[in-house]
């Protein structure tokens, strides 16, 4: 059964609006484009594969204008999208909880560089100064100035946790902080298996994960004995690299580097749905089908 696009958009809007029903409204005149409509546009943009905001707004004005009475310009939409980062993260998690993959007990983690500047003057005047830093990318054998994107996803490709951090910080330190922030997610998953690369190797770190009920599966180092399950890690490596590339897609497609903290954080958040169409998208389509029948 082919779900009509209008029905899909309406069902998604109803799902988002119901979730935001209990949130407090800010004082002042309400915006012409409501928060529910903004989040609906952001999710649909990722689902339909539009990485350029200007092209997405042109498509929306042509095909979805009857569903959105007011559509802002590209600059206004971009500012609203950056400011709505907490709501975007919340909606993504709400939609992810409705999928079967949310309860997966196998997670994969890795990090990838996000360059934010290529010249010294850019580094000095960037709004990311003090947040970004210099780091080294071993896979490309080069230094860069920017951030490092940390991602934890399921084998199906659905992102569970993500963070942007200074590349000078250790990978184990950042991952430990991510797991600490979302400790409730860890408690709900008994026997969690975390797959990583050699960069997360540390007896102290593995002992800390074991205390949380997490088993770390990683490749063995040069002087180590072959670890259990190591032959399967090559195929898993390709999966995490594809998810990392999808999260960096907004910058690579627009050939623009993030210039502010909001820009840097809103981009991977809005793209978290893009890599998992068979999970969250199918659930939304099922929801829209039942909504249309009811």
Give all domains of the chain, ordered by start, each with its CATH number: 5-98+277-293 (no CATH), 104-260 (3.30.420.10)
Confidence (pLDDT) at 186? 85
Residue 134 scores a pLDDT above 70 = yes
What pLDDT band is residue 60 in, cutting at 50, 70 and 90?
A: very high
pTM listed for this prediction: 0.74
Averaged pLDDT for residues 72-91:
85
What pLDDT band is residue 173 in, cutting at 50, 70 and 90?
A: very high
What pLDDT band is residue 26 in, cutting at 50, 70 and 90?
A: low
Averaged pLDDT for residues 207-220:
87
More confident residue, 223 or 75: 75
Q: How far apart (Å, rounded) are the C-alpha atoms in residues 111 and 175?
A: 10
According to DSSP, the β-strands at 159-165 and 214-217 are unpaired
Confidence (pLDDT) at 176? 92
Least confident stretch, 86-90, 153-157, 167-171, 225-229:
225-229
Q: What is the pLDDT of residues 191-207, one digit of tens each?
A: 898 988 888 888 899 89
Q: How far apart (Å, rounded) are the C-alpha atoms in residues 197 and 151?
A: 13
Confidence (pLDDT) at 58? 93
Residue 291 scores a pLDDT above 50 = no
Residue 7 scores a pLDDT above 50 = yes
What pLDDT band is residue 118 in, cutting at 50, 70 and 90?
A: confident
């Amino acid at each position: 059964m082919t779900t009509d696009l209008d029905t899909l958009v309406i069902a998604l809007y109803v799902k988002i609006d119901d979730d935001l029903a209990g949130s407090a409204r800010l004082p002042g005149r309400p915006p012409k484009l409501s928060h529910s409509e903004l989040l609906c546009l952001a999710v649909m943009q990722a689902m339909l594969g539009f990485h350029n905001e200007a092209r997405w707004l042109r498509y929306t004005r042509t095909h979805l204008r009857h569903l959105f009475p007011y559509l802002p310009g590209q600059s206004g939409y971009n500012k609203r999208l950056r400011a709505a980062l907490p709501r975007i993260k919340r909606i993504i998690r709400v939609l992810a909880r409705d999928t079967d993959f949310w309860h997966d007990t196998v997670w994969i983690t890795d990090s990838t560089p996000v360059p934010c500047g290529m010249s010294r003057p850019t580094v000095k005047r960037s709004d990311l100064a003090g947040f970004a830093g210099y780091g080294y990318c071993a896979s490309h054998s080069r230094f860069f100035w920017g951030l490092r994107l940390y991602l934890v996803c399921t084998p199906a490709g659905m992102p569970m946790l993500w963070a942007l951090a200074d590349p000078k910080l250790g990978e184990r330190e950042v991952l430990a902080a991510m797991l600490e922030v979302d400790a409730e997610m860890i408690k709900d998953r008994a026997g969690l298996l975390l797959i990583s690369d050699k960069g997360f190797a540390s007896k102290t770190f593995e002992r800390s994960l074991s205390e949380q009920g997490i088993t770390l599966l990683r490749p063995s180092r040069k002087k180590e004995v072959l670890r259990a399950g190591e032959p399967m890690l090559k195929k898993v490596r390709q999966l995490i690299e594809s998810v990392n590339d999808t999260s960096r897609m907004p910058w690579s497609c627009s050939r623009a580097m993030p210039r502010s903290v909001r820009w840097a954080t809103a981009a991977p958040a809005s793209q978290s749905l893009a890599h998992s169409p068979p999970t969250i998208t199918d659930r939304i389509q099922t929801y829209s089908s039942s909504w249309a029948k009811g």
